[in-house]
Every structure is written in structure tokens, then in C-alpha cells.
């Protein structure tokens, strides 16, 4: 097969894999846009609709009516909150339900996923790595259930990947326009929340060092400018809204020590009488991180770790550049868990903050398995017996480890998708029947009606997620 034809086939297969994976993820996402589906308890608890949709809707409504925080990119008077400003602007523009923001969220996740593919491909120069890393990302539990949430996640995800795409392009092409675009996207990422401050900075400095040599003080300052500017702007807003410099510093310090070491400072307001971590929690913290990763990616962390070690060893023998890049991503991706102990302990979804490390590593594992399998088969067919035995043994071992890693992921992901589709169809049918029954009795539908109708459905259903977001259905006679 000619190289051009071979490359064309490879690109077609990669595009097909990504298209199918994205289609599945978007189908689940669009399915969850239906109020009766998002109210299913089994679905709502995964992205935490109470905090990440209903909460944002209520806050945006309050801010749109006039509030000291109105028109400011701040959340809870202690965190960057560009996402909440966007929600407020949607409300001011006439949005009466979270739906427009939920659609925007899905679009942002799609944009971020496509940017992820391109920066991973540019960084590793390996189509197999990029394609499988992206497919793995798209079918992860967090990507199946978080597109549609209106909290910080879609904005950070999209702009972090835009940051990485432009930064890798800058490192590869040395065009300052790419660097400027990357820094602007990094600032927007940092203005949405604290999650990607450390990871983006560590990865960008590390990749700069890998591709351009040890960065100068000026280079580090350039990369540091966006997070410093975002943190400074946030601090100024907090001080202004809190009543002064001292009060603002106290509020920021209060949340910092709580989210890191679960400590409290005198005079602090963040759960002053409550601790979330005991001695045992600290001792089993590595296990907690592992469970967070398993939750977000539906994988077996043990076999993923074994496959990662094998892959890193093989890369050290023939592709050290890819190994160094992977280690840099790993350092950045796991930085959150090395600092934000309490936050990691109390939130099941934090495994997603390491996607920029976990997903490319998954792609590298698949790529190495394919590489050694193809090389061993090639040497067998060309009768190059000198290293055939070693190659076959390496390929067989790696394929066995990969299968042990990938089977639980495929099984869990397939089960998750099918269960989501099945329970969604059930809820939609029962919901339609319930609405018809209620409307035959009286013209108005209330929360009490929906609660009464759903009590025998056989699964938890949370109708207040519908009524409290202004999505209560109306009877046909009332609507006319």
C-alpha cells in the first residue's frame, strides 16, 4: 500500500473513531437536556445538578435583578467566576430556564474535545495516540455526564484545551501569535475557577523546557502572567465586596486552608465547626485519589497503572521525547491532588482534572501495543529471527496488560450508556403519562402533583429540578 493511501486510511479511521465516540457522548448529552431525564436521581447525582445547574440558575437570577456581584466574574465572593457572569448575562438577555446555557455547555465541551485531539496529535505526532486518547476522553463518565452543566467545567475544559493547542503550536512553529492566543486563553481559563492554575502552568513550563531548553526568568514570567493577573483581579474583587483588604485576605485564606489541609483559621466563615477529613482519611488518601480516577474514567486503576509502567519503560527504549512529554503531563495533571487534599476528598468528580494526563497516557498505551504487535508480525513475515522472540514476547505481554486494562473500561462504559438510555426512555414514558393524568384532573401542574405521580416509578426522580428551574410543564388547555 502506498504511503499516501495508508495515511489516508489512517486519517479516515481516526476520524471515524472520534466521530462515533463524539456522537455517542452528544446523544447522551442531548438526552439529558430533557427536564424529565435530568430529574432522574441516578443521572442527576453524577454531575450534581443541584450544585452545578440549579444553583447557577438561582444565582444568575438573583444577580440579574441587581446584586453587589452583578457584572463581575466572581463566584461566592471568593473564587473566579466568569462562568457565573455568563449565566447572568444569559438571564439578562431573556433566558428563563437553564436550557440555553446547557446547550452552550455541550458546545464548549465539543470544542474542547476537538482542541484536545489536535494538541495531543501535535505534541506526540502520533495519530493512534491522539485518536484513542480522544475517544477515551469522549466516552469517559465525566464527559458523558458533565456536558450540560452550567458551572465552571465547560468553560475551563474548552479554554484549557484551547490554551494547550495554541501553546503546542507555538512550541512547534515559533509564531508569537500562537503564544499570545495561548496566554489569552489561559487567562480566561483561570478566570473561571482555581482548578487549572497549577496544571496549566506546570505543563507549559515543562514543555517549554523540553522543546526550547531551560526557560529564562523572562519566559517563566510570561507563562505566569495570566494566572497571576487572574488571581490579582479576583483578589481585588473579593476585597472590594468583602469590605476591605483585611476582610478580603481573610476570606481568601479561609477557603485556601480549608480546601488544602481541611484547616480553619480564627474568624473564618467556611464551616468553622466542621472537619471533613479524619486521621484515617489522610492515611488512605492515595486510595481516595484512585477511586476518583475510577469514577471519572470507568477504568481499573490497578491495571491502568501496570500498563502505564510498561508503556513508559518501552518508551524509554525508543521514544524518550514522548516519555518526557507524558511525564510532564502527568506532573501537571496530578498537581491538584497533591495540594487540594480536602477538595479531592469530598468531591467524587475531581478525577476529571487529570484528563490531560490520563487520556494521552491511555493513547500512548494503545499506540505502544499496536507498534510492538506490528513490528513483531513484520519481523516474523520477513524472517528476521534475531529478535522475533523478544518482540513477540513483548507484544504478547503488552497486549495482555492492555486487555486487562481495557476490558473493564469497555464493560463499564457500555453498561453506563445502556443504563442511561434505558432509564431515560422509561422516565420519558412515565412522565408523559403522568402529565396527561394530571391535566385530566386540573389545569395546573404543581410540584406536589409531580412528586405524587412519580412515587411508584421504581427509581428516584427529583421533580423540583424541573419546577425550580422554571420548566414546569403546562397542560394544553392552559398553554392555549
Listed in sequence order, the residues at least 6 apart from 192 whose beta carbon sits closer than 8 Å to its beta carbon are 80, 81, 82, 83, 152, 155, 156, 159
Provide the pLDDT for residue 3: 76
Q: What is the pLDDT of residues 142-163, one digit of tens each?
A: 999 999 999 999 999 999 999 9
Tell me the percentage of the chain whose pLDDT exceeds 70: 98
pLDDT at 373 over 90: no
pLDDT tier at 384, thresholds 50, 70, 90: low
* Residue corresponding to grid cell 493512534: 128
What mean pLDDT comes out for the span 353-377? Answer: 93
Residue corresponding to grid cell 466574574: 73
The yes-or-no verdict on residue 385 having pLDDT over 60 is: no
Residue 387 has what pLDDT?
64
pLDDT at residue 278 is higher than 70: yes
**Which of 266 and 321 is assigned the larger pLDDT?**
321
Question: What cell was used for 212?
Answer: 526550547
User: Does residue 383 surpass a pLDDT of 70?
Assistant: no
Highest mean predicted confidence (pLDDT) among 74-78, 374-378, 476-480: 74-78
Residue 244 clears pLDDT 80, i.e. is over it: yes
Mean pLDDT of 313-333: 96
For residues 6 and 38, what is the distance between their CA atoms, to the nearest angstrom?
44
Out of 228-232, 387-391, 434-438, which region has the weakest mean confidence (pLDDT)? Answer: 387-391
Q: Which H or E run includes 75?
A: strand 74-75
Q: What is the pLDDT of residues 299-308, one digit of tens each?
A: 999 999 999 9
Parallel, antiparallel or unpaired: strands 74-75 and 79-80: antiparallel
Closest CA to 297 of 366, 343, 356: 356
For residues 268-295, give the mean pLDDT.
93
Mean pLDDT rounded to a whole number for the chain: 94
Give mean pLDDT, residues 366-393: 77
Checking if the pLDDT of 185 tops 70, the result is yes
- Provide the grid cell at 360: 494521552
Residue 154 near residue 147, CB atoms below 8 Å: yes
Residues in Cβ contact with 324 at an 8 Å cutoff, skipping those fewer than 6 apart: 210
Report in angstroms the alpha-carbon separations of 128 from 160, 310, 329, 364. Answer: 22, 18, 18, 8
Res. 164: pLDDT tops 60: yes
Residue 1: per-residue pLDDT: 62
Q: Report whether pLDDT(121) > 50.
A: yes
Residue 375 has a pLDDT of: 82
Mean pLDDT is lowest, of 7-16, 211-220, 264-273, 337-346, for 264-273
Q: Is the pLDDT of residue 82 over 90?
A: yes
Question: For the chain, what are the domain ranges?
Answer: 17-422
Is 465:35 a contact under the CB 8 Å cutoff? yes
Q: Is it the case that residue 378 has pLDDT exceeding 70?
A: yes
Bigger pLDDT: 163 vs 384: 163
Exposure class string for 436-475: b at 16+ Cβ within 10 A, else e:
eebbeeeeebeeebbeebbeeeeeebbbebbbebebbbeb
**pLDDT for the residue 390:** 75
**Mean pLDDT on 333-340:** 95
What's residue 480's pLDDT? Answer: 43
Concatenate the DSSP letters of all residues of 326-372 into one string: HHHHHHHHTTTTTT-HHHHHH-GGGGGGGHHHHHHHHHHHHHHHHHH
Amino acid at each position: 500500500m502506498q504511503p499516501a493511501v495508508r495515511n489516508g486510511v489512517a486519517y479516515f479511521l481516526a476520524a471515524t473513531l472520534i466521530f462515533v465516540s463524539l456522537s455517542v457522548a452528544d446523544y447522551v448529552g442531548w438526552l439529558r437536556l430533557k427536564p424529565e431525564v435530568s430529574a432522574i436521581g441516578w443521572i442527576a447525582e453524577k454531575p450534581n445538578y443541584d450544585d452545578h445547574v440549579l444553583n447557577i440558575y438561582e444565582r444568575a437570577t438573583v444577580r440579574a435583578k441587581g446584586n453587589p456581584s452583578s457584572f463581575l466574574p466572581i463566584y461566592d465572593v471568593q473564587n473566579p467566576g466568569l462562568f457565573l457572569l455568563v449565566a447572568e448575562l444569559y438571564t439578562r438577555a431573556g433566558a428563563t430556564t437553564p436550557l440555553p446555557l446547557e446547550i452552550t455547555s455541550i458546545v464548549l465541551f465539543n470544542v474542547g474535545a476537538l482542541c484536545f485531539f489536535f494538541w495531543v496529535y501535535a505534541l506526540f505526532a502520533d495519530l493512534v495516540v491522539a485518536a484513542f486518547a480522544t475517544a477515551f476522553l469522549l466516552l469517559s463518565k465525566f464527559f458523558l455526564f458533565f456536558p450540560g452543566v452550567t458551572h465552571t467545567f465547560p468553560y475551563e475544559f474548552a479554554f484549557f484545551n484551547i490554551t494547550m493547542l495554541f501553546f503546542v503550536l507555538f512550541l512547534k512553529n515559533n509564531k508569537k501569535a500562537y503564544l499570545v492566543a495561548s496566554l489569552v486563553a489561559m487567562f480566561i481559563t483561570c478566570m473561571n475557577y482555581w482548578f487549572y492554575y497549577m496544571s496549566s502552568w506546570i505543563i507549559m513550563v515543562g514543555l517549554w523546557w523540553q522543546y526550547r531548553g531551560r526557560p529564562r526568568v523572562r519566559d517563566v514570567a510570561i507563562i505566569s502572567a495570566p494566572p497571576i493577573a487572574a488571581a490579582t483581579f479576583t483578589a481585588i474583587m473579593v476585597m472590594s465586596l468583602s469590605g476591605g483588604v483585611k476582610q478580603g485576605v481573610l476570606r481568601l485564606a479561609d477557603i485556601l486552608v480549608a480546601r488544602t489541609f481541611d484547616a480553619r483559621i480564627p474568624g473564618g466563615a467556611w464551616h468553622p465547626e466542621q472537619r471533613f477529613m479524619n486521621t484515617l482519611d489522610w492515611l488512605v488518601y492515595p486510595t481516595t485519589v484512585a477511586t476518583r480516577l475510577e469514577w471519572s474514567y470507568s477504568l481499573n486503576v490497578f491495571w491502568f497503572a501496570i500498563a502505564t509502567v510498561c508503556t513508559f519503560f518501552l518508551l524509554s527504549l525508543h521514544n524518550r521525547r514522548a516519555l518526557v512529554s507524558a511525564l510532564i503531563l502527568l506532573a501537571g495533571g496530578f498537581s491538584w491532588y497533591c495540594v487540594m487534599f480536602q477538595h479531592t476528598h469530598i468531591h467524587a468528580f475531581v478525577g476529571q482534572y487529570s484528563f490531560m494526563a490520563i487520556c494521552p497516557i491511555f493513547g500512548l498505551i494503545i499506540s505502544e501495543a499496536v507498534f510492538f504487535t506490528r513490528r513483531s508480525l513484520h519481523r516474523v513475515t520477513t524472517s528476521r529471527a534475531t529478535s522475533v522472540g523478544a518482540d513477540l514476547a513483548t507484544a504478547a505481554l503488552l497486549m495482555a496488560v492492555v486487555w486487562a486494562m481495557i476490558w473493564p473500561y469497555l464493560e463499564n462504559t457500555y453498561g453506563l450508556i445502556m443504563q442511561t438510555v434505558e432509564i431515560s426512555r422509561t422516565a420519558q414514558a412515565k412522565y408523559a403519562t403522568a402529565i396527561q393524568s394530571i391535566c385530566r384532573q386540573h389545569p395546573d401542574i404543581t410540584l406536589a402533583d409531580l412528586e405524587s405521580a412519580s412515587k411508584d416509578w421504581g427509581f428516584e426522580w427529583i421533580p423540583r429540578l424541573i419546577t425550580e428551574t422554571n420548566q414546569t410543564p403546562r397542560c394544553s388547555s392552559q398553554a392555549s
